[in-house]
Chains A and B, each alone.
Chain A
Amino acid sequence: MFEGLQLFGAGLLGFLTFSSLFNVAWATLLGILVGMMPGLTATLGIALMTTLTFKMAPEDAILILICMYVGAIYGGSRSAILLNIPGTPASAATTLDGFPLARAGKAGKAMAIATSGSFMGSIIGMLLLATIAPVLANFALEFGAFEFFWLAVFGIIISGHLTSLKDPLKGWIAGILGLLAAMVGQEGVHAYQRFTFGYFQLSGGLGLLPALIGAFGFAEILVVMTDSKYELVKSKVGSVIPSPREVFRYWRTIGRSGVIGTVMGIIPGVGEDMGAWASYAAARRASKERARFGTGSIEGLIAAETGNNAAVPGAIIPVLTLAVPGSAPAAVLLAAMFIHGVRPGPLIMIESPEFVFQVVAMIMLASVAILIFGLMLTRPLLLVLRVPRERLMPIIFVLCTIGAFSIASRVFDIWVMLFFGIIGYAMRRMDYPMAPLVLGLVLGSILDKSLRRGLVLTDGNLTEFFMRPISAVIWIASLVVILYSIGPFRRAFQRLVGGADVHAGDKGADGG
């Protein structure tokens, strides 16, 4: 505990230099802008920024990416409040109460509440990251091939289920497609080139970053350019300084949403969207003002915004301790850590504990930055929402093209970006979630290696896969999730627990 505080202090002090603070300022601001603009998501922002910062020192690059991440998830609330369009999918729950408040002439108040909620959410998540990550990393030392295999399976099942609550089948199909896409290229045991069909460019596999830039950038451009135009709400902005009394009136909601958001972040591939929806649903269930939810409730807005920002540090917890991403943007962060030579995973608390607390310090700096920018730059930031999409989208596409190319200076990666963009557009139009696809791309190699290693260790005996204690917990949890998505089982379960409120994720979630 004391050692953790020392490492955190050292990490924070290390970032209190002009160049680091400058990086915090511009990266968070850019993140807020990315989050605000419909069509630009946190995942795309971090992916593009990864391609631009890979020549920087690892600490600087990761600091910039985390600031971009925190900023983008917060920034999404602006367009949710003012346009009724979530700037990132993580802000979908914010529209429910944020937009009605703006329409009622309280846009400034709504933005102030969203800023406070996001700040508190990030701080709660950060505290939980600092306390949970060392414990989880220690626990993960017990993980072998069997446990990692089941963790990958569980990740796809839970992510597929929670990001597509209306139809988990689509979530699972997306996840398996992601796993299959990860099989492309040379495998690790016999160096056989799978699914390359004679194209040598595929022997290294499909690049994660070009695929993500396509699925979250190009696909989004196509969606935005084919949808009807959006309009800025005509509302008096008013004061954007939150009243502390009003915010602390909802301290229970803030605390609960912070914890729920972080837990949702920890679950592989679920992330900020579900952090917001689950916090919103819990707040509505517990609220005395339940009827006001959906019509401009301050409590609803604060729950959603605390929940989604708390999920950011939450999603980073499994990245650091298990090398498994908690959300789509966290998947990019994980890839960026590998690019920079950081080796996240169960050994992190042994090999580089200081890095974990540096990440905690980075989140703290980003949280303070969103609070400052959120309260100070309200009116200038509004100008961004007035940029016509006909001018913004081609610029984004130019950035997507450079981003995909710059990682390895290969034109082939531009084609990968285009391919995933078109697939992503089709999937989005057919209501398939993207987060399980991304998770599948990341977890594919873990699943492949763990299953084959496990089978070799036991000489094909599956008992070990099912009987080891941690494995048993994970496969039983996976089975429960599958059964829960089947009508009769779900109804029986709901009768058992007294009718759970499932409204929360009716819309599902789809990786920030």
Chain B
Amino acid sequence: MKADFVTSILVILIGLGAFVTSWRMPRYENLQVNPYTVPGIVPGILSLILLLLGIIMLVRSVIRGGWRIEVPGVASALFSATSGRLVVALVLTLGYAVVLVGRLPYWLATVVFMFLFVAAYEWPMHANRRSRVVSLVGAVLIAAIVAVAVTAVFQQVFLVRLP
């Protein structure tokens, strides 16, 4: 219910924003176009429906007590192990897709991403130096094989242009 409370506010904001944008779309009155063909009519109706659904959800979550958000609960959710894993996954994937791809040669960007991903998630926390070195070497090998295979298959077999 707490999640519903928060998302309902978000849905209402999206509905409002979309409605205002639709309202501001041109109506071409000076061109005397049929008023039923104006660009804002369908998005305007859809945003009003979204607004209505958001309000229903908000009212429902308030009735069920969803508005009572406790700080300790939010803090424990924010700093949970799941959130930590999500942040690592997001940093690695966005780092690859937004930063590396297009700036480095495709194969090199893929090697770097694969290595970092495998190394980060398979890092032996409680192991000696030797196992850590083995783990890193394994990650390098996997990264190199995947990058070469993907680049070759996509370029040579499927004739796809790579970023």
Contact = CB atoms under 8 A, between A and B. Distances in A.
Contact of A397 (B26, B37, B93): B93
A388 interface: yes
A456 B25 contact: no
Contacts of A394: 92, 113-114, 117-118, 146
Contacts of A176: 46, 49-50, 53
Residue among B22, B92, B121 with most chain A CB within 10 A: B121
A459 B36 CA distance: 8
A221 interface: yes
Contacts of A398: 96, 110, 113-114, 146, 150
Nearest to A190: B39
A405 interface: yes
B18 interface: yes
A195 B20 CA distance: 11
B105 interface: no
A173 interface: yes
Contact of A401 (B56, B97, B161): B97
Given A406-B161, A411-B101, A190 B53 contact: no
Contacts of A391: 118, 122, 142
Contacts, number: 154
Contacts of B46: 176, 179-180, 183
Contact of A402 (B40, B41, B60, B160): B160
A107 B39 CA distance: 57
A55 interface: yes
Given A173-B54, A397-B93, A402-B150, A456 B34 contact: yes
Contacts of A59: none
Nearest to B88: A225
A190 B37 contact: yes
Contacts of A397: 93, 96-97, 113, 117
A13 interface: no
Interface string A203-239: 0000000000000001001100111000000000000
Interface of B is mostly: helix
A119 B31 CA distance: 60
B90 interface: yes
A1 interface: no
Nearest to A426: B7
A180 B18 CA distance: 8
Contact of A390 (B28, B40, B82, B121): B121
Interface in A389-422: 390-391, 393-395, 397-399, 401-402, 405-406, 409, 411, 414-415, 417-418, 422
A459 B86 CA distance: 53
Nearest to A410: B163
Nearest to A409: B161
Contacts of A55: 158-159
Contacts of A411: 101-102, 163
Nearest to A53: B158
Nearest to A457: B36
B162 interface: yes
A399 B110 CA distance: 10
Interface in B63-80: none
Contact of B150 (A221, A399, A447): A399
Interface string B7-46: 1000100100010011001101000011111111111011
B32 to A, nearest CB: 13
B127 interface: no
A402 B154 contact: yes
A448 interface: yes
Contacts of A183: 42-43, 46
Contacts of B146: 394-395, 398
Contacts of A500: none
A180 B159 CA distance: 35
Nearest to A178: B46
A173 B57 contact: yes
Contact of B97 (A52, A177, A409, A414): A414
Nearest to A222: B89
A189 interface: yes
A230 to B, nearest CB: 15
Contacts of A488: none
B33 A418 contact: no
A418 B96 CA distance: 11
A460 B89 contact: no
Contacts of B43: 180, 183, 194-195
Contacts of A395: 114, 146, 150
Given A177-B14, A390-B122, A414-B101, A448 B42 contact: yes
A169 interface: yes
B49 A418 contact: no
Contacts of B85: 225-226
A169 B96 CA distance: 36
Contacts of B22: 194
B125 interface: no
A406 B54 CA distance: 37
23 contacts: A173-B50, A180-B14, A183-B42, A183-B46, A190-B38, A194-B22, A194-B43, A195-B43, A226-B82, A226-B85, A227-B82, A388-B122, A390-B118, A397-B96, A402-B154, A406-B160, A411-B102, A414-B163, A418-B93, A418-B97, A452-B36, A452-B42, A460-B35
Given A398-B96, A418-B94, 17 more contacts: A173-B50, A173-B53, A176-B46, A183-B46, A190-B26, A391-B142, A394-B113, A397-B97, A401-B97, A401-B163, A411-B163, A414-B101, A418-B98, A422-B90, A430-B3, A430-B4, A459-B36
Interface of B: 3-4, 7, 11, 14, 18, 21-22, 25-26, 28, 33-43, 45-47, 49-50, 53-54, 56-57, 60, 82, 85-86, 88-90, 92-94, 96-98, 101-102, 110, 113-114, 117-118, 121-122, 142, 146, 150, 154, 158-163
Per CB-CB distance, the 10 closest pairs between chain A and chain B, nearest first, are A455-B36, A394-B117, A390-B121, A192-B39, A225-B89, A406-B160, A183-B43, A448-B42, A52-B158, A226-B85
